[in-house]
Amino acid sequence: MAALEIRQLGLTDYAHTLAEMQAFTAQRNDQTPDQLWITEHPPVYTLGLNRRGVRLPQNGIAVISVDRGGKITYHGPGQLIIYCLIDLHRRHLNVRALVSILENSLIEFLAAHGIVAVARTDAPGVYVNEKKIASLGLRLKNQCCYHGLSLNIEMDLQPFADIDPCGYAGMQMTQTRDLNIALAMSDIAADLTQRLKVKLTHVRT
């Protein structure tokens, strides 16, 4: 069974953390343990590789071009980030299977608190009453992935209104606070990482 380590990073600069993920992935070998990085970021927009037709914000918040799939999204304090640095070949996973693990872990967490959430084939992420609560984005290099998921916990959602989140005009956002889930980010992070760990360590290795 491949090892899976959890790193608690606290509040981190996005660009610095991205560079660390890229370096980790470039330097890893067959014996490098997979890792989940738990963090949150100061306000920043990240612009994925699919940049055609993206509406850029005009509110002064920095926009960083990144190497994940997808279009534009927002990160800010009060949003839980779990970066997944996983050797997919070693775990006999493809990207679609990992996306399903991430989505199902989020859906199961919300269901445990009485919230019905769904995934969408046309727009990766997790939705409650057609509002987006979690976003996903991954990058694959030499069969190893990085980037991961973001879950809105208790944040200022206004910056999402200044873009078309993930390329969808009019996409409404929600968060756990507005769904009456009275848990701190640390508790939600612990729950989600445990669900992810169970799913990732029970795939055939």
What CATH number is attached to the domain comprising 27?
3.30.930.10
Q: How many CB atoms lie within 10 A of CB 32?
A: 17
Residue stretches of the annotated binding site for substrate: 68-75, 135-137, 148-150
Report the C-alpha gap between 159 and 165 in whole angstroms. 10
Model pTM greater than 0.85?
A: yes
> Domain containing 34: what range?
4-201
Q: Is 24 helix (H, G, I), strand (E, B) or coil?
A: helix
Which residues does the annotation mark as catalytic? 166
With left for phi above 0 and alpha for psi between -120 and 50, is residue 129 left, alpha or beta? left
Phi and psi (nearest 5°) for 117?
A: -125, 155
Q: How many domains, the chain?
A: 1
What pLDDT score does 205 carry? 44
Block mean pLDDT (10 aa), the chain, length 205: 88 97 96 97 93 89 91 96 96 93 97 96 90 94 95 97 86 96 96 95 65
pLDDT of res. 124: 82
Q: Output the CA–CA distances (angstroms, integers) from residue 155 to 74, 98, 185, 197, in the order listed.
A: 11, 26, 11, 26
Q: Give the pLDDT of residue 1.
A: 57
